[in-house]
């Protein structure tokens, strides 16, 4: 990844996501007919690259055009310039709704929403208000027999237990759990320095249907 200091106080890469990239790369796509994945709030594109490396077709969605262009350049630097990645400058919610109307289905959905953001055109995103309807939309995009969902976040308004409670109360997740069982893992992501000091960087929730 092209690492550099940015005006936003980060380095162009979020290393605390490393365990998630590993998890994304572990899917055995051979067992999936059309391995499609959706990366919402995709920013640097590191998760997109992990998915593309694992053999997925990827819809990479972010509201910021410069970020989408940087992600495309990062893919080219990783010899994934010809990989089946669709780069979309769009609002996550609008795009997901459109994909339902198009009848599309995804095997893996990744989302890393900010606390506060803006869709192209100005509509605001607030995690505590908008995450729940977005998850509801994503349930409609997934095949309940075979899916993976990764939700991460970095804001105090929502944590892993809020997300797990919401998922467990949804008909989609309850139905999938009753039908074939689920692997559900959640916790805090951390960065660790050379002397073992840790820095909390937010939560993760990983869900996988057992028939994967």
Closer Cβ to ligand SAM, 36 or 62, answer by number: 62
Asked if residue 125 lies in contact with residue 92, where contact means CB atoms within 8 angstroms, the answer is yes
Distance CA 147, CA 41 (A): 19
Closer Cβ to ligand SAM, 67 or 211, answer by number: 67
Closer Cβ to ligand SAM, 62 or 146, answer by number: 62
Closer Cβ to ligand SAM, 119 or 137, answer by number: 119
Find residue 207's DSSP bridge partners: 149, 184
* Nearest approach, Cβ of residue 179 and ligand SAM (Å): 30
* Nearest approach, Cβ of residue 113 and ligand SAM (Å): 6
Closer Cβ to ligand SAM, 24 or 46, answer by number: 46
Asked if residue 77 lies in contact with residue 45, where contact means CB atoms within 8 angstroms, the answer is no
* Nearest approach, Cβ of residue 31 and ligand SAM (Å): 26
**E-assigned strand segments in 112-166:** 116-118, 124-126, 148-153
Reference 152, options 163, 143, 168; nearest CA is 163
- Per CB under 6 A, residues contacting ligand SAM are 14, 17, 41, 43-44, 46-47, 61-64, 67, 91-92, 112, 114, 117-119, 125
User: In angstroms, what CA-CA distances link 98 with 92, 93, 140, 163, 194?
Assistant: 10, 9, 11, 24, 46
> Tokens at residue 10, please?
């980060």
Residue nearest to ligand SAM (CB): 117
Distance CA 15, CA 23 (A): 14
Asked if residue 142 lies in contact with residue 193, where contact means CB atoms within 8 angstroms, the answer is no
* Nearest approach, Cβ of residue 118 and ligand SAM (Å): 6
* Nearest approach, Cβ of residue 171 and ligand SAM (Å): 26
* Nearest approach, Cβ of residue 117 and ligand SAM (Å): 2
Closer Cβ to ligand SAM, 47 or 160, answer by number: 47
């Amino acid at each position: 990844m092209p690492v550099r200091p940015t005006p936003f106080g980060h380095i162009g890469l979020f290393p605390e996501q490393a365990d998630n990239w590993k998890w994304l790369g572990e899917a055995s796509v051979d067992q999936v007919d059309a391995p499609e994945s959706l990366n919402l709030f995709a920013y640097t594109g590191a998760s997109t690259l992990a998915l593309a490396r694992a053999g997925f077709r990827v819809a990479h969605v972010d509201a910021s055009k410069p970020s989408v262009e940087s992600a495309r350049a990062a893919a080219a630097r990783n010899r994934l310039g010809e990989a089946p990645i669709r780069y979309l400058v769009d609002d996550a919610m609008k795009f997901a709704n459109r994909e339902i109307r198009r009848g599309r289905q995804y095997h893996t959905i990744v989302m890393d929403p900010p606390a506060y953001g803006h869709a192209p055109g100005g509509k605001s995103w607030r995690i505590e208000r908008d995450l729940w309807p977005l998850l509801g939309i994503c349930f409609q995009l997934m095949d309940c027999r075979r899916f993976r969902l990764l939700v991460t976040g970095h804001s105090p308004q929502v944590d892993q237990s809020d997300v797990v409670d919401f998922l467990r109360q949804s008909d989609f997740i309850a139905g999938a759990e009753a039908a074939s069982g689920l692997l559900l893992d959640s916790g805090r992501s951390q960065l660790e320095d050379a002397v073992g000091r840790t820095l909390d960087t937010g939560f993760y929730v990983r869900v996988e249907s057992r028939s994967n």
